[in-house]
């Protein structure tokens, strides 16, 4: 069909024009029958959001995606173009993507009246049939719908009453396309009113012109529930005209969240080859996001975006890479101490309530990391608080005794792998404890779990953990309280 270049040839080909919603519906039906993936790369919505969107497309509905930040709303909207026909014919030179068989603009009507079957036809790729606008308070009706262009009137020497002086806005130019408005509540109420006719009747009117353009557009809007109260609202008559409102959500499980992070993280081939990130650390990173969504310090109405873990994973790898470069090593494995490099990705991605602001973003981030470490520790090792005194053998006894003897462990942020392993091996009973509880863990990953034991015991206040600018220091709690490593020597005197 792409070889057709005139209106006459298009008519002879028996081409049948379809509305954009009919296109989406027909191509979705075809993909479902062939069991093809419709929304490539969208993870975790297979049983919830995506079926709702498919039902809306089959119903030829305009759609509102309602959800908190970082829930793939815009990604889903952009993937809808894959349901459009690859190419459609348009009148050559038309700014409104006029269908040669059903033109609506003055330009196309005049051209066809003049040239008839010789009217030139072009083929428009589906990638050019997607229009996206971020709603901001300064958006005007002229931006969306259009207005009289005095410069055009002067240049063409036309009266303002001639419709050819109209400069069309984004919506008319999206004729036969998908039009997306992100953050719809940010549009002023009077601007939202201008969309009424387009959604209900499919036409627009500009500046009192006796002009009715029967536009063919698939609308998709996105909104954050927070916006209904904080920055604006979707006015009720407009919401009533959007046929399907679909709620998005955050990943329901750690595994789904991990898949999203691994898919979206932007790492170089060099980083992937040089830095190994164990499953334990990937789980810990996702756990931080889950803890943040439940935290009393974080505004739940604002949400915690999936971008937190994506940025956090990139920071984690970069922290390990920087350490590798400093120590001139060829490969390394990420550590728990590398998570101090993840803190900037956490502080910038959470909206704090008043109590959180009082604590400060940094302390809230450390609190979230601590809670996540505690949960991860309990997933692998016995709960120190549940050991019955005098009745249960204390599996941490040797480790406790080593710290009680005035010993301490210092883990520097940029410590070489050799020195890191030596520091952990120096803790009496630590390696043996990990081996007895996790027989399947071998090699370098053992050191990761050995470090986890120290963090876990610190969270349960069995030992203390001091965070300095360039290192972590683990020591006996009592010695830390009194500020002396020689406490027991002093008692002996």
Render pLDDT for 151-180 as a digit per residue (tens, 0 to 9): 776 676 776 566 677 788 899 999 999 999
CA gap 406, 180 in Å, rounded: 64
- Phi, psi dihedral angles at 79 (to 5 degrees): -75, -15
pLDDT digits (tens, 9 = 90+) for 134-143: 998 889 888 8
pTM score, whole prediction: 0.86
pLDDT for 389 equals: 63
pLDDT for 2 equals: 72
Please tell me whether residue 206 adopts helix, strand or coil conformation: coil
- Judged against a pLDDT cut of 50, whether residue 251 lies above it is answered with yes
CA gap 216, 161 in Å, rounded: 26
- Judged against a pLDDT cut of 60, whether residue 390 lies above it is answered with no
When pLDDT is averaged across residues 477-483 and rounded to a whole number, the result is 63
Q: What is the DSSP string of 94-161?
A: -TT--BTTB--SHHHHHHHHHHGGG-BEEEEEGGGSEEEEE--TT--HHHHTEEE-HHHHHHHT--TT
Q: Of the spans 193-207, 212-226, 410-424, 465-479, which averages the highest pLDDT? A: 410-424
Share of the chain above pLDDT 70, in %: 90
Higher pLDDT residue, 303 or 113?
113
Cα distances (angstroms) measured from residue 471 to each of 132, 333, 443, 465: 47, 18, 24, 10
pLDDT digits (tens, 9 = 90+) for 339-373: 999 999 999 889 898 898 998 999 999 999 999 99
pLDDT for 232 equals: 67
CA gap 194, 238 in Å, rounded: 10
Contact of 464 with 477, CB cutoff 8 Å: yes
pLDDT band at 490 (very low <50, low <70, confident <90, very high): very low
Higher pLDDT residue, 481 or 300?
300
When pLDDT is averaged across residues 394-406 and rounded to a whole number, the result is 92
**Residue that is written with structure tokens 């479902």 in the block:** 32
Closest alpha carbon to 49 in 71, 33, 32, 68: 71
When pLDDT is averaged across residues 108-128 and rounded to a whole number, the result is 94
- Judged against a pLDDT cut of 80, whether residue 460 lies above it is answered with yes
When pLDDT is averaged across residues 253-264 and rounded to a whole number, the result is 96
Lowest mean pLDDT among 72-86, 165-179, 215-229: 215-229
Q: What tokens appear for 342 in the block? A: 């993840």
Contact of 302 with 351, CB cutoff 8 Å: yes
Report how far Cα 112 is from the mean position of its chain's Cα atoms. 47
- Judged against a pLDDT cut of 60, whether residue 491 lies above it is answered with no
CB atoms within 10 A of CB 41: 12
- Judged against a pLDDT cut of 70, whether residue 209 lies above it is answered with no
When pLDDT is averaged across residues 47-55 and rounded to a whole number, the result is 96
pLDDT for 489 equals: 43
CA gap 273, 270 in Å, rounded: 5
């Amino acid at each position: 069909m792409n070889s057709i270049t005139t209106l006459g040839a298009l008519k002879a080909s028996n081409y049948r024009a379809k509305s954009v919603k009919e296109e989406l519906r027909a191509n979705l039906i075809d993909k479902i029958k062939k069991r093809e993936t419709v929304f490539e790369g969208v993870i975790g919505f297979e049983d919830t959001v995506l079926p709702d969107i498919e039902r809306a497309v089959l119903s030829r509905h305009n759609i509102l995606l309602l959800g908190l930040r970082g829930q793939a709303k815009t990604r889903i909207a952009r993937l809808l173009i894959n349901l459009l026909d690859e190419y459609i014919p348009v009148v050559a030179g038309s700014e409104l993507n006029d269908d040669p068989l059903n033109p609506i603009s003055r330009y196309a009507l005049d051209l066809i009246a003049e040239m008839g079957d010789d009217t030139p036809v072009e083929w428009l790729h589906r990638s050019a049939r997607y229009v996206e606008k971020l709603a901001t308070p300064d958006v005007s009706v002229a931006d969306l719908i259009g207005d009289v262009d005095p410069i055009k009137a002067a240049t063409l020497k036309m009266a303002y009453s001639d419709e050819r002086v109209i400069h069309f806005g984004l919506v008319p130019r999206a004729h036969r396309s998908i039009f997306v408005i992100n953050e719809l509540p940010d549009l002023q109420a009077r601007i939202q009113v201008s969309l009424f006719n387009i959604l209900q009747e499919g036409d627009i009117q500009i500046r009192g012109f006796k002009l009715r353009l029967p536009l063919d557009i698939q609308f998709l809007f996105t909104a954050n529930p927070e916006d209904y109260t904080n920055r604006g609202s979707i006015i009720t008559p407009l919401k009533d005209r959007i046929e399907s409102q679909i709620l998005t959500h955050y990943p329901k499980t750690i595994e789904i969240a991990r898949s999203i992070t691994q898919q979206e993280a932007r790492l170089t081939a060099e980083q992937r080859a040089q830095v190994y990130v164990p499953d334990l650390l990937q789980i810990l990173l996702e756990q931080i996001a889950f803890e943040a969504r439940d935290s009393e310090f974080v505004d739940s109405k604002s949400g915690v975006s999936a971008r937190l873990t994506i940025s956090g994973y990139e920071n984690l790898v970069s922290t390990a890479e920087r350490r590798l470069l400093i120590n001139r090593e060829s490969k390394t494995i990420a550590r728990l101490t590398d998570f101090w490099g993840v803190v900037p990705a956490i502080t910038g991605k959470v909206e704090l309530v008043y109590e959180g602001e009082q604590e400060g973003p940094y302390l809230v981030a450390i609190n979230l990391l601590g809670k996540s470490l505690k949960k991860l520790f309990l997933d692998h090792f016995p709960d120190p608080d549940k050991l019955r005194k005098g009745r249960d053998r204390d599996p941490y006894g040797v480790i406790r005794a080593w710290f009680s003897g005035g010993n301490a462990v210092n883990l520097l942020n940029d410590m070489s792998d050799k020195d890191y392993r030596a520091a952990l091996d120096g803790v009496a009973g630590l390696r043996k404890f990990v081996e007895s509880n996790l027989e399947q863990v071998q090699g370098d990953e053992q050191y990761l779990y050995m470090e986890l034991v120290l963090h876990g015991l610190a969270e349960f206040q069995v030992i203390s953990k001091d965070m300095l600018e360039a290192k972590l220091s683990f020591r006996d709690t009592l010695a830390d309280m009194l500020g002396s490593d020689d406490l027991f020597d002093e008692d002996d005197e």
